[in-house]
């Protein structure tokens, strides 16, 4: 289980890991609630988080351990295209700025916990709400599993192998999430983010200095890509890759705040201004992510070899290990221990929030809707707590029992399928023009298209002669070549973006058709003024007499 | 309920409309058209333009959202 480990490194790692675990349990007492046995408390931290906590929480939630290993790995392997994470996380905040405050307001008034709660009330359709809930759960599950891939990459780089450590780590995580709810990741996020900021800032100062400066780093990257037979890689984008770069950034940005765990972070905030302030402050993480992406190039210059790489056997190795290996090579033992802990702890925060979000969807939109219609708040909280355990065990089994590639493929599709809830959730915040059955038809069409498109995309490598070799027939990426539509071009486009367009077109056409055939609309339980409500405005729960 | 009506009416009139919101488009224009920045020069401390431009564009994003936030606070 432990071959070749650096004792100092692993000690620092373990100490930090244990410290945040303790913090996770203590969190139950932090900003103590009268009663944790309520979904507003367990699942949304009492809807009371101010600007700072929200900043750490959402930052810790969106910028996950997997992001931290996968983005530099993509830059290491393909170059400029991997940098899409930066425009993606620049445009997301201005795009959602006005949308999220509406969602917050209407959720505040009605006590919505999940996006599917909103859909149910707004469109008067429990079927549509169920589809949104299931889509959210399916999109989130592989994302949780990938956090384990992040921890695994760190453990591998430290020379720790076998499944026991990861099972222990996840068991601890499951226990304190069960115990403390959203307060646990909120408190741990402070430590996680502080560590990440320190590590990355040190890394981008120390490593380029050791490697002979940025000129040398980018020189090495250019040399690597010039020698590579792949026409798509490079330090800048190949011409045809630009459309994919832009649509991938834009599509991913539209998807990000449709994920249930992002919405959980938003709904946990105290008032509208907290959200607005955070939309301006969260890009600090994007800056860190951009610097992190550049670690991919530093790894090229430093001659990092991914763990498992074997040229003779044609094994590419686990490219997710390049950042941990780079830290291991570049830093003294104690600091690389800190760096590894930053990534490892970085997996815990999003994994906790994602499992809470998935559990809330289960409770509110399946359990209460179909199984126990008269559930008390206490039963709701209990159901969510248990569901959060099930979700984590599922993620663990998916990683240990199945090929992790399965989770990676699913997560790729996850972004595409969660986008299909945009008309019902995001557009639904603005308009009731879409017919509920139109929204369902659009969702189905977008899903079908998304699966078809990703099924068509092979994973391709290139022989030294530049001949394409198909590594994997299907689900090899998210860039759909436009040749699929008979266009004579080398341009690709993000499949999720096209799937959304298909969804919207079908949505609109079906709406017109359903209206024409006089299929009744659903009832809207929300009022226009509720989309602008703030903290001091009455909630339906507190003022039962204003319910009509 | 009568004494609540003026306040309720005030609430009903609220909206998020503001000309400042248009500023939110600026970061999108600056980053979603790659031909704008897809080149190596001029470099900054050896970092190609493609990279430092986009890192700098984060400041455009922060600036625009910050201005919109300040101007639309109520």
**pLDDT band at residue A207 under the 50/70/90 scheme:** very high
Question: pLDDT digits over A505-546, tens only?
Answer: 999 999 999 999 988 888 888 888 888 888 888 777 665 444
Q: How far is A359 from chain B (nearest CA, A)?
A: 32
Phi then psi for residue A244, to 5 deg, are -65, -40
Q: Is residue B11 part of a domain?
A: no
Higher pLDDT, A491 or A135: A135
Residues of chain A contacting B43 with CB distance shorter than 8 Å:
218
For residue A29, give every residue at least 6 positions away whose Cβ sits within 8 Å of its Cβ, in sequence order, or none.
none
For chain A, what is the mean pLDDT?
87
Per-residue pLDDT at A143 exceeds 90:
no
Average pLDDT over residues A298-311: 86
pLDDT, one tens digit per residue, over A339-394 is: 999 988 888 899 999 999 999 999 999 999 999 888 888 888 999 999 999 988 88
Q: Is residue B10 part of a domain?
A: no
How big is chain A by its Cα radius of gyration, in Å?
23
Tell me which of A207 and A472 has the higher pLDDT. A207
Q: Are A320 and A155 in contact (CB under 8 A)?
A: no
In a domain, B12, yes or no: no
Task: Give SS3 for B46.
Answer: coil
pLDDT band at residue A492 using 50, 70 and 90 as cut-offs: confident
Q: Which two tokens stand for residue A483?
A: 């040749």
Quick one: what percent of chain A has pLDDT higher than 90?
Answer: 41
Peptide bond into B42 cis (omega under 30): yes
Q: pLDDT tens digits, residue range A45-100?
A: 888 888 898 999 898 888 888 888 888 988 998 899 889 999 999 999 999 988 99
Res A2 pLDDT > 90: no
Contact A44, A267 (CB under 8 A): yes
**How many domains, in total, are found in chain B?**
1
On whether residue B50 sits in a domain, the answer given is: yes
Disruptive mutation site among A200, A283, A285 for chain B (greatest number of B CBs within 10 Å): A283
- Residue B53 maps to a domain: yes
Residue in chain A nearest B27 by alpha carbon: A91
- Tell me whether residue B7 is in a domain: no
Residue with more model confidence, A312 or A455:
A455
Which residue in B2, B10, B69 has the most chain A C-beta atoms within 10 A of its own C-beta, making it the best mutation to test that interface?
B69
From B13's Cα to the closest Cα of chain A, the distance in A is 7
Q: CA of B8, closest CA in chain A: separation in Å?
A: 9
Using a CB cutoff of 8 Å and minimum separation of 24, what contacts does A299-302 make? A299/A72, A299/A76, A299/A323, A299/A325, A299/A326, A300/A76, A300/A217, A300/A220, A300/A221, A300/A224, A301/A211, A301/A212, A301/A216, A301/A217, A301/A219, A301/A220, A301/A221, A302/A207, A302/A211, A302/A326, A302/A329, A302/A330
- Contact B11/A at CB under 8 A: yes
pLDDT of residue A547: 43
Structure confidence at residue A153 as a pLDDT band (50, 70, 90): confident
Is a pLDDT exceeding 60 seen at residue A175? yes
- pLDDT computed for residue B30 by the predictor: 92
Q: What's the whole-model pTM score?
A: 0.88
A235: which chain B residues are within 8 Å (Cβ-Cβ)? 40, 48, 50
Q: For residue A251, what are the contacts with CB-CB under 8 A and spacing of at least 6?
A: A415, A419, A494, A496, A497, A500
Per-position b or e across A194-212, b if 16+ CB within 10 A of its CB: ebbbebbebbbeebbeebe
B25 touches chain A (CB under 8 A): yes
State the pLDDT at residue B2.
44
Structure tokens, A408: 């990676």
Listed as own residue / partner, the contacts of A480-486 with beta carbons closer than 8 Å and 24 or more positions apart are A480/A453, A480/A456, A481/A457, A484/A453, A484/A456
* Spatial distance between the Cα atoms of B40 and A290, rounded to a whole number of angstroms: 17
Inter-CA distances, A68 with A81, A285, A444, Å: 16, 11, 33
- Centre a 10 Å sphere on the Cβ of residue A324 and count the other Cβ atoms it contains: 25
In this prediction, residue A548 carries a pLDDT of 40
Q: How many CB pairs under 8 A join A and B?
A: 123
A294–B12: do the CB atoms touch at under 8 Å? no
Cα dihedral sign, A134-A136-A137-A139: positive
Residue B49 within a domain? yes
Instruction: Please report the domains of chain A, with CATH numbers, ordered by start residue.
Output: 7-399 (1.20.1730.10)
pLDDT in tens, B58-72: 999 999 999 999 988
Show which of residues 99-138 on chain A sit within 8 Å of chain B, judged by CB atoms. Answer: 101-102
Listed in sequence order, the DSSP H helices in A282-372 are: 283-301, 322-330, 333-362
Q: Domain span at residue B58?
A: 18-72
Residue B2 lies in a domain: no
- A543 touching B, CB under 8 A? no
Q: Does B35 touch chain A (CB under 8 A)?
A: yes
The closest alpha carbon to A89, from A54, A69, A63, belongs to: A63
A221 touches B: beta carbon within 8 Å: no
Residue pLDDT, tens place only, A260-295: 999 998 999 999 989 999 999 999 889 999 999 999
Pair of tokens at residue A305: 């070899």
Pairwise CB contact (< 8 Å): A236 & B40: yes
Q: Which of A67, A545, A115, A546 is nearest to A349 (CA)?
A: A67
- The secondary element (H helix, E strand) that includes residue A461 is strand A459-462
Q: Are B32 and A91 in contact (CB < 8 Å)? A: yes
Q: Which of A3-7, A59-63, A257-261 has the highest mean pLDDT?
A: A257-261
CB pair distance less than 8 Å for B58 and A90? yes
């Amino acid at each position: 289980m432990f071959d070749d480990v650096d004792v100092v490194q692993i000690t620092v790692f373990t100490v930090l890991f244990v410290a945040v675990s303790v913090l996770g349990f203590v969190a139950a007492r932090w900003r103590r609630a009268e009663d944790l046995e309520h979904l507003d408390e367990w699942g949304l931290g009492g809807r009371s988080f101010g600007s700072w906590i929200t900043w750490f929480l959402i930052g810790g939630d969106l910028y996950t351990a997997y992001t931290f290993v996968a983005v530099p790995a993509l830059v290491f392997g393909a170059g400029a295209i991997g940098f899409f994470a930066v425009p993606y996380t620049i445009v997301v905040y201005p795009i959602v700025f006005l949308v999220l405050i509406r969602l917050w307001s209407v959720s505040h008034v009605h006590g919505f916990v999940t996006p599917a709660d909103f859909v149910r009330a707004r469109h008067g359709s429990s079927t549509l709400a169920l589809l949104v809930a299931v889509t959210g759960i399916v999109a989130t599950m592989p994302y949780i599993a990938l956090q384990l891939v992040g921890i695994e990459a760190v453990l591998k780089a430290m020379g720790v192998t076998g499944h026991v450590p990861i099972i222990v780590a996840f068991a601890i995580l499951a226990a304190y999430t069960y115990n403390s709810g959203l307060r646990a990741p909120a408190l741990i996020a402070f430590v996680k983010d502080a560590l990440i900021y320190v590590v990355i800032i040190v890394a981008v100062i120390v490593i380029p200095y050791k490697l002979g400066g940025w000129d040398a780093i980018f020189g090495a990257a250019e040399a690597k890509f010039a020698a590579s037979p792949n026409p798509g890689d490079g330090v800048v984008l190949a011409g045809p890759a630009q459309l994919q770069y832009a649509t991938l950034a834009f599509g991913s940005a539209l998807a990000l705040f449709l994920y249930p765990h992002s919405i959980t972070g938003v709904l946990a905030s105290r008032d509208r201004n907290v959200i607005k302030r955070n939309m301006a402050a969260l890009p600090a993480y994007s800056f860190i992510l951009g610097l992190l992406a550049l670690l991919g190039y530093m790894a090229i210059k430093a001659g990092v070899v991914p763990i498992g790489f074997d040229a003779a056997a044609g094994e590419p190795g686990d490219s997710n290990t390049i950042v941990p290996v780079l830290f291991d090579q570049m830093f003294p033992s104690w600091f690389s221990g800190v760096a590894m802990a930053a990534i490892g702890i970085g997996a815990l925060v999003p994994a906790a929030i994602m499992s809470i979000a998935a559990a809330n969807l289960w409770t509110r939109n399946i359990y209460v809707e179909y199984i126990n219609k008269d559930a008390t708040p206490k039963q709701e909280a209990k159901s969510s707590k248990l569901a959060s355990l099930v979700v984590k065990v599922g993620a663990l089994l998916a990683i240990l029992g199945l090929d992790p590639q399965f989770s990676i493929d699913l997560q790729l599709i996850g972004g595409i399928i969660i986008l299909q809830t945009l008309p019902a959730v995001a557009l639904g915040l603005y308009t009731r023009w879409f017919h509920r059955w139109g929204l369902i038809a659009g969702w189905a069409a977008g899903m079908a298209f998304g699966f078809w498109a990703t099924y068509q995309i092979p994973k391709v490598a290139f022989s030294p002669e530049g001949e394409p070799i198909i590594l994997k027939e299907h689900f090899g990426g998210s860039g759909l070549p436009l040749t699929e539509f008979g266009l004579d071009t080398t341009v690709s486009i993000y499949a999720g973006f096209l799937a959304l367009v298909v969804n919207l077109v079908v949505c609109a056409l079906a709406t017109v058709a359903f209206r024409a055939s006089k299929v009744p609309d659903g009832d809207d339980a929300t009022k226009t003024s509720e989309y602008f409500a703030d903290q001091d405005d009455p909630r339906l729960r507190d003022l039962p007499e204003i319910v009509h | 309920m009568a004494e609540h009506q003026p306040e309720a009416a005030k609430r009903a009139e609220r909206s998020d409309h503001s000309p400042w919101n248009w500023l939110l488009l600026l970061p999108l224009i600056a980053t979603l058209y790659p031909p704008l920045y897809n080149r190596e020069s001029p470099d900054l401390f050896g970092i190609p333009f493609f990279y430092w431009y986009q890192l700098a564009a984060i400041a455009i994003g922060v600036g625009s959202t910050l201005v919109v936030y300040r101007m639309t606070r109520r």
